[in-house]
């Protein structure tokens, strides 16, 4: 199963944050209650996923060529009417319309090809639809009504990223530092590669006080 490039995560978050007003309107119209949606920040979720994912709820599964995006709406919010929990009504026009509007909340560049809605006794069961490799990215949206508030999650999988570790042999900064401590290198070369703070110390003016001897002493005795 394919996964998204990590580069999609930023645009996904930006698109959802920009469209939070439209999301509020969509959810209000479908569930018949006035509510507001606040979009959180991007986060990485490991196997110890949020507890509400182990509870019942609706899952909107949106599929693109590169991967899948899940919208998870737990029933603990008590926002979902009873008809949402029946398999026979999952093709309800309101839910299909909501799936369409959730699709439009994402960047057009994802090119979502299809969507479906399912009710799960454990929302985490739907996570098996995501690739098993890589990193799981998520955004928590907070839904607030006049009586309660609760979470609404957007989840997707991206390819794992590895930070490049510079080689000790080829890293130019490391080579420069070695030149700086090479006792055979010219003084100008050694000074040039000293850290900036060390070079700045060489510019500090230090007063020097010299006391001349009162009596004559042979030079060889002084040295």
**Residue 21: predicted pLDDT:** 92
Give 63's strand partners: 68, 114
Q: Who has greater pLDDT, 36 or 54? A: 36
**DSSP letter for each residue of 118-178:** EEESSGGGGGGGS-SSSEEEEEEEEEE-SS-EEEEEEEEEE---------TTT-HHHHHHH
The predicted pLDDT at position 18 comes to: 92
- pTM for this model (two decimals): 0.65
Q: Does domain 6-158 have CATH number 3.30.70.100?
A: no
Q: Is the separation of the CB atoms in 179 and 189 below 8 Å? A: yes
Largest CA distance in the chain: 114
Q: Show the tokens assigned to 91.
A: 């093709």
C-beta atoms surrounding 44 within 10 Å: 10
The percentage of residues in the chain with a pLDDT greater than 70, rounded to a whole number, is: 63
Q: What are the sequence ranges of the domains in the chain?
A: 6-158, 163-202
pLDDT band at 180 (very low <50, low <70, confident <90, very high): very low
**pLDDT tops 80 at residue 20:** yes
What is the per-residue pLDDT across 80-104, written as a single tens digit (0 to 9) for each? 666 565 555 555 777 888 888 999 9
**pLDDT tens for residues 126-176?**
777 675 667 889 999 999 888 888 888 999 988 876 543 343 344 444 444
Residue 200, classified by CB atoms within 10 Å of its CB into exposed (0-12), middle (13-18) or buried (19+), is: exposed
Q: Across 1-15, 151-165, 199-213, which has the greatest mean pLDDT?
A: 1-15
Sign of CA dihedral 112, 93, 31, 126: negative
């Amino acid at each position: 199963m394919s996964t998204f490039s990590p580069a999609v995560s930023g645009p996904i978050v930006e698109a959802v944050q920009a469209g939070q007003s439209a999301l509020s309107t969509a959810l209000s119209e479908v569930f018949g209650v006035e509510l507001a949606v606040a979009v959180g920040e991007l986060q990485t979720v490991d196997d110890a996923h949020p507890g509400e994912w182990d509870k019942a709820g609706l899952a909107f599964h949106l599929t693109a060529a590169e991967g899948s995006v899940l919208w998870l709406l737990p029933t603990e919010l008590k926002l979902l009417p009873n008809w949402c929990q029946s398999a026979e009504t999952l093709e309800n026009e309101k839910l299909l319309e909501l799936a369409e509007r959730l699709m439009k909340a994402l960047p057009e560049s994802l090119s979502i090809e299809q969507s479906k809605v399912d009710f799960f006794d454990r929302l985490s069961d739907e996570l098996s639809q995501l690739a098993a490799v890589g990193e799981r990215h998520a955004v928590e949206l907070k839904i607030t009504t006049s009586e309660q508030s609760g979470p609404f999650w957007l989840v997707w999988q991206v390819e794992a990223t590895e930070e490049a570790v510079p080689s000790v042999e080829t890293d130019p900064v490391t080579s420069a530092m070695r030149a700086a401590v090479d006792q055979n290198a010219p003084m100008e070369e050694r000074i040039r590669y000293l850290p900036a703070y060390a070079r700045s110390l060489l510019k500090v003016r230090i007063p020097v006080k010299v006391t001349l001897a009162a009596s004559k002493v042979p030079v060889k005795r002084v040295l």
